Amino acid sequence: MHRFYLIGLIIAATAGLSLAVADNGFSEYVDEQGNINLPEDFRSSMVHLGSWYVPEGGASGFHDVYTEQATVEAFRETGKFPDGATLVKELRSSHAGNYTTGSGVSYATADIKQWFVMIKDTQGRFTDNPLWGDGWGWALYQPGDRTRNVAASYKTDCLGCHVPAKANDWVYIEAYPTLTE
């Protein structure tokens, strides 16, 4: 009896601190080949780090960014994203209307455009996989099929646009004060 109780306590204590570590000791969102899955229900299980508002173009609307609570805690301590950290960015259409706070007030609608995912890899895993490199695994999903990563190569599909954020491990952290508060 006592032993089971103790094991339960250890599991509970470890779970509170760890990231979504899976059997592979890395990330529950990544399989042995380095295929990345879009986390389920991240809006309720993760921390909302911040949002961007893009006024026009194909990516217009709100970009809401999420990560694990454990990643927030680790970043506040070390100033770095820990191994296995997950970043999810959800693109949603916006609608503007007049409210008691003012006119032309914008909000994110339920219409989702796409999801971007980055998984921190401090070990340089999956060197043969074109969706891994520069310290991250990179993925893109469209609402039609949440299971299919439509990015082919992070170098051509992602990296160029993240160069301005290179000094911050390719992440636009200025919009995520939760990481440093």
Q: Which residues bind ligand HEC (CB under 6 A)?
A: 52, 54, 63, 65, 87, 89, 116, 118, 138-140, 151, 157-158, 161-162, 165, 171-172
In the complex with ligand HEC, the residue whose CB is nearer, 96 or 150, is 150
Cβ atoms of 86 and 119 closer than 8 Å: yes
In the complex with ligand HEC, the residue whose CB is nearer, 26 or 42, is 42
Distance CA 111, CA 22 (A): 31
Cβ atoms of 68 and 42 closer than 8 Å: no
Burial 41-57 (b: 16+ CB within 10 A, else e): ebeeebbebbbeeeeee
In the complex with ligand HEC, the residue whose CB is nearer, 172 or 178, is 172
Q: Which residue has the tokens 């032993």?
A: 3
Distance CA 91, CA 37 (A): 17
In the complex with ligand HEC, the residue whose CB is nearer, 11 or 165, is 165
In the complex with ligand HEC, the residue whose CB is nearer, 10 or 165, is 165
> What is the smallest separation between the CB atom of 174 and ligand HEC, expressed in angstroms?
9
DSSP lists the bridge partners of residue 140 as: 116
> What is the smallest separation between the CB atom of 43 and ligand HEC, expressed in angstroms?
15
Distance CA 27, CA 22 (A): 5
